[in-house]
Amino acid sequence: MTPGARAAAAIAVLDRVLAGDAAEKALTNWARASRFAGSADRAAVRDLVFDALRQRSSAAALGGGLTGRGLILGLARRSGQESLFSGEGHAPHCPGPEDAGREPDAEAGLDLPGWLVPELRDALGTDFPAVADALRARAPVFLRVNLGKSDRPAAIALLAEEGIVARPHPLATSALEVTQNARKIQASQAYLTGLVELQDAASQAVVEALPLGDGMKVLDHCAGGGGKTLAMAARARLRLFAHDASARRMADLPGRALRAGAGITLTDRPEVLAPYDLILVDAPCSGSGSWRRDPEGKWKITPERIALLEQTQGSILDRAALMLRAGGVLAYVTCSLLKRENGAQARAFLDRHPKWNLDRELTLTPLQGGDGFYLALFHGN
């Protein structure tokens, strides 16, 4: 496919997204209907779609409207590639008067939901402009080295044999940032043998902050795909259990655990196995700290959704507290930048449970390189 044809394909996908389809579904349907598109074409169209979603407001302004064409034209104008709209072959037709754009105003230039901007400014303070700018760009690709099997230098060397270039990242002792050929990772021997896993560096840093030790009985209460479960397994010899309200999210975890050499028990009834020494609650949240990876999320979030998430976070914390042994540790984690999901939620828990103590808080933003994360560590008496 020519660059112009790729732009046209991205326009078609974005029109489906703007009509309500999930981006991944729209991309999959396009790829199935476009057998002529090679892997490089599919990757390029995907990048265009997600770049447009990350910069939706400003691209729409530059491109003359919130449509697939407007978004891709806005990106093209920003990068000096308006010539892609030539009308030649399969390229989009040339811009006309109906495509007149404008420089985005201050609010559109942030590429954030306007109703959330005051709250994000309050949470981030002087870091707000830089964080907002970071959320408009692609996230780096990070790997977690399975320190139960190897170390970072050995992993870097093994990856390099297959043309994948990675370097240590300071956020976590297990973190590598991939700088070349990230798309080869899942077919690499380092990945297939469980030496490395795809995991954000800040997510790894959160797990490194947990007070884990050999012999502890640990529950990952909102395990999802199990990235943090596996990271905990690599840190110590644990009796490790994983639970999620949607068991299908953990479908791949047994296979990944086998590759990693980790012993993990999945459970749909965590209370039966209580008490635990430590429970990790990686709570459902707005995902505002990971909007680089999920740009759809920032446009779909609503005030009503966040209010519901706050209630869910509190109820999960209350449930988990009942499953800990006396003196056990409750670790509350979000990938949110919002105070109401982070510090305010931690203090609301303490108000409901006055015999509990807050030992530590950790806040990370994209300015440290990874996603935005919050961690609160509590212990009960």
31-78 residue pLDDT tens? 999 989 999 999 999 999 999 999 999 999 999 999 999 999 999 999
Average pLDDT over residues 10-32: 96
- The predicted structure's pLDDT at residue 64: 95
- The predicted structure's pLDDT at residue 381: 74
- Predicted confidence band of residue 380 (pLDDT cuts 50, 70, 90): confident
- The predicted structure's pLDDT at residue 134: 97
Look at residue 315 and tell me whether its pLDDT is greater than 90: yes
- 94, 222, 285, 335: the catalytic one is 335
Secondary structure of the chain as H, E, C letters: CCHHHHHHHHHHHHHHHHCCCCHHHHHHHHHHHCCCCCHHHHHHHHHHHHHHHHCHHHHHHHHCCCCHHHHHHHHHHHCCCHHHCCCCCCCCCCCCHHHCCCCCCHHHHHCCCHHHHHHHHHHHHHHHHHHHHHCCCCCCEEEEECCCCCCHHHHHHHHHHCCCEEEECCCCCCEEEEEECHHHHHHCHHHHCCCEEECCHHHHHHHHCCCCCCCCEEEECCCCCCHHHHHHHHHCCCEEEECCCCHHHHCCHHHHHHHHCCCEEECCCHHHHCCEEEEEEECCCCCHHHCCCCHHHHHHCCHHHHHHHHHHHHHHHHHHHCCEEEEEEEEEEECCCCHHHCHHHHHHHHHHCCCEEEEEEEEECHHHCCCCEEEEEEEEC
Domain presence at residue 210: yes
- The predicted structure's pLDDT at residue 369: 96
- Predicted confidence band of residue 174 (pLDDT cuts 50, 70, 90): very high
Shared domain for 376 and 233, answered yes or no, is yes
Domain presence at residue 344: yes
Last residue of a domain, one of 159, 183, 199: 199
CATH of the domain at 350: 3.40.50.150
Shared domain for 186 and 221, answered yes or no, is no
Shared domain for 225 and 191, answered yes or no, is no
Shared domain for 303 and 350, answered yes or no, is yes
- The predicted structure's pLDDT at residue 233: 95
130-134, 199-203, 329-333, 377-381: least confidently modelled range:
377-381
Q: Which residue range forms the structural domain that includes residue 13?
A: 3-111
Domain presence at residue 60: yes
Shared domain for 192 and 209, answered yes or no, is no
Average pLDDT over residues 276-289: 97
What average pLDDT does the chain have?
A: 96
Shared domain for 232 and 146, answered yes or no, is no
- The predicted structure's pLDDT at residue 374: 98
pTM for the full predicted model: 0.94
Average pLDDT over residues 128-154: 96
Domain presence at residue 120: no
- The predicted structure's pLDDT at residue 66: 97
Domain presence at residue 81: yes
Shared domain for 218 and 358, answered yes or no, is yes
Domain presence at residue 231: yes
Share of the chain above pLDDT 70, in %: 100
Q: How far, in Å, CA of 44 to CA of 1, rounded? A: 10
Average pLDDT over residues 301-305: 96
Q: Is 335 a catalytic residue?
A: yes
Rounded to a whole number of angstroms, the distance between the first and last alpha carbons of the chain is 64
Shared domain for 238 and 356, answered yes or no, is yes
Q: Structural domain tally of the chain? A: 3
pLDDT tens digit sequence for 1-17? 999 999 999 999 999 99
